[in-house]
């Protein structure tokens, strides 16, 4: 039975404040499932809010504040305090993947039952995609087309000197603090490995070598990277007895 009904069965009608608002029913021990009559007390909405605030139950404060004439600033501050308290207690969803999963299931299940889940709103999805295509922001549009659109409208970052200036200042500051990604050897090695092409090199003794970083190989063997690149592109037949060619994608399959 609803706890307000239980209260009314024992004490009669729930009183109202000066504005005509019905009093809230407060659970003394904080357990909303404990509807023992000794655990229920009628409080004005302000008193109810104050009790929970003093107890540090900011989640309850947020629920009560939603029914009060609180400003957005007050609600935002209360949300911040509540989030900090949950992080401190280790109960914030961001700290527990299982809580995140359960919250998502609860949210999705509720919306699916009500028919309000985004996946069920096909007409809405179609309208959103049409708008994105019209605006040139749909991911199906090629990157070049989007860049051309931004350039034609003067909204491309390369056309904004202020943005370029701020980006330059930002990277210089990161360098000065030693926090730029390219100052981290691990990140640099990963970037080099990802972007490096694979090569097959043959020496004068017909030894075949598979290399992923041509520049590094040339440096280690006292060779000119430029000359080796000319051999790879077909401008030279060989260099110091070496031949080199790039491995294409079909050879990986």
In a domain, 121, yes or no: no
Q: What's CA 253's distance to the chain center, in Å?
A: 35
Task: List all residues 6 or more positions away from 38 whose beta carbon is below 8 Å from its beta carbon.
Answer: 28
DSSP string, 59-89: HHHHHHHTTTT--HHHHHHHHHHHHHHHHHH
Per the structure, the complete domain to which residue 212 belongs is given by: 196-251
In a domain, 77, yes or no: yes
Of 58, 93, 128, the residue that ends a domain is 93
pLDDT for residue 23? 92
Q: Residue holding tokens 């000065």?
A: 176
pLDDT for residue 202? 92
In a domain, 152, yes or no: no
What is the Cα–Cα distance from 230 to 242, expressed in whole angstroms? 12
pLDDT for residue 239? 92
pLDDT for residue 105? 78
What is the Cα–Cα distance from 140 to 41, expressed in whole angstroms? 59
pLDDT for residue 24? 92
* pLDDT tens-digit profile, the chain (253 residues): 688 899 898 888 898 888 888 999 999 888 888 999 888 999 988 888 888 888 888 788 888 888 887 787 877 888 888 888 877 877 776 666 777 777 777 777 777 777 777 667 677 777 877 887 787 777 666 666 667 777 777 777 666 777 777 778 887 888 888 877 778 887 777 766 666 678 899 988 889 998 888 888 898 999 998 899 899 888 898 999 999 988 875 555 4
What is the Cα–Cα distance from 126 to 52, expressed in whole angstroms? 45
Q: Token digits for 51?
A: 């009790």
Rounded to 5 degrees, what angle do the CA atoms 223, 227, 230 make? 145
pLDDT for residue 74? 79
Number of domains in the chain: 2
pLDDT for residue 126? 76
pLDDT for residue 98? 74
Task: List all residues 6 or more positions away from 97 whose beta carbon is below 8 Å from its beta carbon.
Answer: none
The CATH number of the domain where 241 resides is what?
Answer: 1.10.10.10
In a domain, 209, yes or no: yes
In a domain, 27, yes or no: yes
User: What is the pTM (predicted TM-score) of this model?
Assistant: 0.36
* β-bridge mates for residue 239, sequence order: 242
In a domain, 37, yes or no: yes
Burial class of residue 210, CB neighbours in 10 A (0-12, 13-18, 19+): exposed
Of 63, 93, 123, the residue that ends a domain is 93
Burial class of residue 4, CB neighbours in 10 A (0-12, 13-18, 19+): middle
């Amino acid at each position: 039975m609803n706890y307000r009904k239980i209260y009314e069965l024992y004490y009669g009608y729930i009183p109202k404040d000066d504005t005509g608002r019905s009093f809230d029913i407060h659970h003394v021990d904080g357990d909303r499932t404990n509807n023992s009559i000794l655990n229920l007390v009628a409080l004005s909405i302000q008193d109810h809010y104050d009790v929970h605030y003093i107890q540090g139950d900011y989640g309850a404060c947020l629920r009560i504040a939603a029914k009060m004439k609180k400003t957005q600033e007050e609600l935002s501050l209360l949300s911040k305090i509540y989030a900090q308290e949950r992080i401190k207690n280790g109960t914030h969803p961001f700290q527990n993947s299982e809580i995140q999963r359960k919250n998502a299931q609860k949210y999705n299940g509720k919306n699916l039952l009500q028919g309000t889940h985004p996946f069920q709103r096909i007409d809405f999805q179609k309208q959103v995609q049409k708008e994105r295509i019209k605006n040139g922001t749909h991911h199906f549009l090629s990157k070049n087309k989007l860049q051309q659109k931004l350039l034609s409208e003067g909204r491309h970052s390369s056309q904004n000197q202020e943005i370029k200036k701020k980006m330059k200042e930002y990277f210089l500051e990161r360098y000065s603090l030693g926090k730029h990604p390219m100052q981290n050897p691990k990140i640099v090695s990963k970037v080099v490995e990802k972007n490096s092409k694979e090569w097959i090199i043959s020496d004068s003794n017909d030894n075949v070598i598979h290399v992923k970083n041509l520049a590094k190989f040339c440096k280690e063997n006292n060779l000119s990277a430029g000359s080796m690149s000319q051999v790879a592109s077909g401008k030279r037949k060989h260099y110091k007895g070496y031949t080199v060619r790039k491995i294409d994608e079909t050879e990986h399959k």
